[in-house]
Structure 1
């Protein structure tokens, strides 16, 4: 019985790691409502691209504000995708251990 549980835990861990690798290919896009700033990052929260309209380069404070707001939005979206995917895989692969229902 213990060997079965360990095998299932190892399999779940492998699936989680494979999902993490796959999430490197899932892209999340965020842009400002006026299209002056566009950000792309992976579901693992790695920034891939930032596009800044030239008009934002004239106002340092506005650019900084845009970056903070939209990077945080993009990171929040990526985190939601990441946690949902990892959580689903982890829950699916967990053996049924009495008292260990932490993924419900």
Structure 2
């Protein structure tokens, strides 16, 4: 029983390390999102850090329109980044879960 407990603890520790490595890797994953007409594009990481925003000159003439474009495009990019982030971290966590009787509902 004690050996099983040590094995589970080691597996959990390995999983924690893999989660941290995945978080670091996700900082380097770039997602580019464009407005439907291509006048605005944003680049963010899978950790939801904004890296770049490109705005067409014609959007600079209308502050309200630019604000709307920014909100819509950034929200789409953040949703994609969140989805990638959650899927990657969930996959690492699921692979690293020790086999605990009665906990197979998590798999």
* TM-superposed deviation, 1:102: 5.6
Q: Cα deviations across residues 48-83 of structure 1 (Å, max 9, x unaligned)?
A: 000111111110100010011110000000011111
Please report the RMSD computed on the Cα atoms of aligned residues, expressed in angstroms. Answer: 1.1
Specify which of 6, 9, 33 is matched with residue 9 of structure 2: 6
SS in 1 for 2:43: strand
Q: Does 1:91 align with 2:82?
A: no
Scaled by the length of structure 2, the TM-score of the pair is 0.92
Listed as ranges, the matches of 1:53-64 within 5 Å are: 53-64=56-67
- Segments of structure 2 that go 5 or more residues without pairing to the other structure are none
Specify which of 69, 72, 81 is matched with residue 69 of structure 1: 72
Query: 1:94/1:74 Cα in 2 relative to 1: closer, same or farther (>3 Å)?
Result: same
Determine the C-alpha separation between the residues in 1 that align with 2:12 and 2:22: 15
Deviates more, 1:94-103 or 1:3-12: 94-103
SS in 2 for 1:34: coil
Q: Which has the larger radius of gyration?
A: 2
* TM-superposed deviation, 1:103: 3.4
- Segments of structure 1 that go 5 or more residues without pairing to the other structure are none
Deviates more, 1:91-100 or 1:74-83: 91-100
